[in-house]
Amino acid sequence: MESILHQFGNLDIFPVFVNLTNTITQPFVHSFQAVVPGFLPTVKSLVSNEPGLIGGMLFVLLSYSFVVLAQNTKNARVVVTNKKPSSIYREGFPSELNSEKRLK
């Protein structure tokens, strides 16, 4: 008698995922194929009549994407020192730090 693990191992679930993916994506593909021919002449005329507009939008989009990626790559820096905080900031610290001041 096979164990439960062997029985699960014999199940072929890959076709289920393929059929499920096709069932989910096919309506979107068909609707896209139905809509594109209606907009294609408009897009072609826009690109041929206003190439600067399309180029400018692409330039701004790529520049913005580059800046956002560059800002996200900066690592947060943590500086640990043994220096005591300035007296200006003492009132904002917990009472433990203020009690050390009274003991001295």
CB-based burial of residue 94 (10 Å sphere; 0-12 exposed, 13-18 middle, 19+ buried)? exposed
Tell me if 28 sits within 8 A of 35, measured CB to CB.
no
Q: Mean per-residue pLDDT for 71-87?
A: 69
Domain that holds residue 59: 4-103
pLDDT at 63: 96
Total number of domains in the chain: 1
CA distances from 19 to 8, 12, 22, 39 (A): 20, 13, 5, 31
Q: Is the pTM of this model over 0.75?
A: no
Which stretch of 7-11, 74-78, 87-91 has the lowest confidence by average pLDDT? 87-91
Tens digit of each residue's pLDDT (9 = 90 or more) over 20-75:
888 899 999 898 888 888 888 888 888 899 889 989 999 999 999 999 888 877 66
CA dihedral over 58, 60, 64, 70, signed as positive or negative = positive
pLDDT exceeds 70 at position 95: no
Tell me if 85 sits within 8 A of 78, measured CB to CB.
no
